[in-house]
Every structure is written in structure tokens, then in C-alpha cells.
Amino acid sequence: MKTAKQPAYTLFGTSACHLCEVAQEMIESLCEENPQLNYEKVDISDSETLFALYGIRIPVLRNAAGRELGWPFSPAQLREFMV
């Protein structure tokens, strides 16, 4: 996970979510190709508010402007959203 500067993207998920792991792998691959990209991972199970918002929708990727990309998304859709 890239943390050198303020994350531009937030991946909402849980540790027990297989699809979240798949999404994280896709994001990390894209970040490796594009070093200017960075993100943070937030476990929604640590917050009742986040769990209420995202519980049945995870994984969800949100940008700094608040725009969201919900699962399912392809590598091409992810690239379009992040790059």
C-alpha cells in the first residue's frame, strides 16, 4: 500500500471479504504501474457508520472528490477511474 503522501483514493472493505482482496490486488497492480497513484484501505467493520454505508456494497473505491467506483469493476474501469 502506498502511503508516502495523502491518499487520493480509499478502498472500503473488510478483512473477511474475498472480493475486497481481488480489488486490492487490482489497485496495487495499477499503482505499481503508475507511481503517482496512492490509496489507503479502510476496514468498515471498525466503524458502525461505514458499515451501514458500505456493508453490502464492498468493495468500494472512493476518490478524494467523493466519487465512488463500486464492485464489480474490471481492470479497464479501474484504470479509467484512477488514471
Does the structural domain 13-82 have CATH classification 3.40.30.10?
A: yes
Annotated domain spans of the chain:
13-82
Quote the strand ranges of the chain, DSSP E: 9-13, 39-43, 60-63, 68-70
Report the mean per-residue pLDDT for the chain.
Answer: 94
Per-residue pLDDT, 66: 97
**Among 72, 40, 46, 77, residue whose Cα is nearest residue 59:** 72
- pLDDT band at residue 74, thresholds of 50, 70 and 90? very high
pTM score? 0.90
Q: Give the mean pLDDT of 34-55.
A: 97
Query: What average pLDDT does this structure show over 49-64?
Result: 97
Q: If pLDDT is split at 50, 70 and 90, which confidence band does 3 have?
A: very low
Instruction: Count other Cβ atoms within 10 Å, centred on residue 1.
Output: 12
